[in-house]
């Protein structure tokens, strides 16, 4: 289902002398579910509506491009790489729409920053993984989902069986919480195939 913006008006225009409150949108799901693609779609629509837009991504994410946000389908849009959430506040002051990709890498501080931006009248679009490679909630995305006005959970296709997938299965042997990767590192799996793979990993670990 395509997300339709609640208003085509600029979110932070003054009304009766006061700045209207903005809102928070969260786009979440597993790897390869189209999160970045949806973020790019929404920001492009905001640009068509002549809204001022600023897009941020973690400086550590250089998989496809050092500066641009790039989806797995190779769609791209200019962005500002930042090392921490404080830099987002520094650059966001004069923009009406703030978009943040790969938000799970910014940590708990993003909750406060997103709230501050929305309260100041900005539309905040956040995209990120809601679960990590072990199938555990990946904060701050679940916390952001609880305070957001709009939440869109996207799904991929399980590469093992073709069912709807919402888990990110790690293909390589690594237990780091944060590990950037593409199709050679992760694959989307349904609950059944994810659980089966995790059991096989655990069995292999015990036999070593």
**Domain residue extents for the chain:** 19-155
Are the C-beta atoms of residues 143 and 116 closer than 8 Å to each other? no
Mean pLDDT of 86-103: 94
- Residue range 131-159: mean pLDDT, rounded: 96
Evaluate if residue 204 carries a pLDDT over 90.
Answer: no
Q: Could you tell me if 141 and 129 are in contact, meaning their C-beta atoms sit under 8 angstroms apart?
A: yes
pLDDT at 76: 73
Global pTM? 0.88
Please name every residue paired with 58 in a beta bridge, in sequence order, or none if there are none. 82
With a cut of 80, say whether residue 10 has pLDDT above it: no
pLDDT tens track for 14-38: 555 566 789 999 999 999 999 999 9
- CATH topology for 19-155 is Rossmann fold (3.40.50)
> In the annotation, is 25 catalytic?
no
Range name among 7-11, 45-49, 143-147 with the lowest pLDDT average: 7-11
Q: What is the pLDDT of residue 184?
A: 79
At residue 74, does pLDDT exceed 70?
no
Whole-number Å distance between alpha carbons of 128 and 150: 14
Neighbours of 68 (CB within 10 A): 15
Mean pLDDT of the chain: 87
pLDDT tens column, 100-125: 999 999 999 999 999 999 999 999 99
Cα 186 versus chain centre, distance: 16
Spatial distance between the Cα atoms of 145 and 148, rounded to a whole number of angstroms? 5
Exactly one of 25, 38, 96, 102 is catalytic; name it: 102
């Amino acid at each position: 289902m395509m997300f339709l913006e609640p208003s085509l008006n600029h979110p932070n225009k003054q009304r009766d002398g006061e700045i209207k409150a903005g809102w928070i949108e969260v786009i979440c799901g597993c790897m390869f579910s189209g999160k970045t693609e949806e973020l790019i779609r929404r920001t492009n629509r905001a640009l068509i509506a002549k809204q001022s837009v600023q897009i941020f991504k973690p400086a550590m994410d250089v998989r496809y491009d050092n500066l641009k946000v790039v989806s797995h389908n190779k769609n791209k849009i200019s962005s500002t790489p930042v090392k921490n959430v404080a830099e987002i506040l520094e650059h966001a002051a004069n923009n009406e729409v703030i978009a943040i990709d790969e938000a799970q890498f910014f940590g708990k501080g993003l909750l406060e920053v997103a709230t501050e931006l929305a309260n100041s009248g900005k539309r905040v679009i956040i995209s990120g993984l809601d679960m990590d490679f072990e199938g555990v909630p990946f904060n701050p995305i679940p916390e952001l989902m609880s305070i957001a006005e709009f939440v869109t959970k996207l799904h991929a296709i399980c590469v093992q069986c073709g069912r709807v997938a919402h888990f990110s299965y790690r293909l390589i042997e690594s237990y780091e919480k944060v590990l950037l990767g593409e199709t050679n590192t992760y694959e989307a799996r349904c609950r059944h195939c994810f659980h089966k793979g995790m059991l096989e990993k655990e069995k292999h670990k015990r036999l070593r």
